Chains A and B, each alone.
Chain A
């Protein structure tokens, strides 16, 4: 069965420091991986995706994520955090081995708090 784990409920970083939000996954086929961000009273917004190719994926707002097949991880990173990055972050996976259903499995979310 497909699953996604975000082991940290909350991540706290100081503005200007690098940030990492962790995600691990489990699928039977090749994974399609996504990161979304949710600001208060808004829907989820797409940040970036990994389908195939280069393990380092770059996305919106200076975020990037590294796909690691051996560790089944897809951690979200940013070299220098901004206070405005404070939000709820979701990792999601789709099993590339399944039929093209479009269905994603989401993690529980990690709250990122960036302090000035």
Chain B
């Protein structure tokens, strides 16, 4: 089991540039989640998908943020234009549909984003 794969692991870019973060969930998982982690705000849920459909995007901070899941094995989180306050670690997680046995989320190792 390869686990959740995120790329890149580190990204440094200048303010105003477009940033694209990528995620490959665990095969067979129905749910995909995007989180942001900062010292000040902790772990925040940005958006999550069920069977490639966005279910709740209430955590997306602004219109500069967008997320897509074109198929069951790939998702992107884009920031355009990027700002220094977007600097954070972004995590992707996936989980199977649990039914009676509620399943945990499996996290990738994150993308550390620095906006200069």
Contact = CB atoms under 8 A, between A and B. Distances in A.
A49 to B, nearest CB: 6
A96 B98 CA distance: 12
A43 B95 contact: no
A38 to B, nearest CB: 8
Contacts of A46: 104-106
Task: State which size class the interface on B falls in.
Answer: 20 to 34
Given A43-B4, A43-B110, A106-B43, A100 B97 contact: yes
B70 interface: no
Interface in B9-42: 30-31, 33, 42
Interface string B103-115: 1111111101000
Contact of A44 (B48, B55, B56, B107): B107
A51 interface: yes
Contacts of A108: 42
A40 B43 CA distance: 15
A102 B101 contact: no
A32 B42 CA distance: 21
Interface residues of A, number: 22
B93 interface: yes
Given A103-B45, A109-B43, A43 B108 contact: yes
Among A44, A49, A51, max chain B CB count under 10 A is at A44
Interface in A72-108: 90, 94, 96, 100-104, 106, 108
Contacts of B43: 44, 90, 106, 109
Interface in A1-57: 32, 34, 36, 41-46, 49, 51
Interface of A: 32, 34, 36, 41-46, 49, 51, 90, 94, 96, 100-104, 106, 108-109
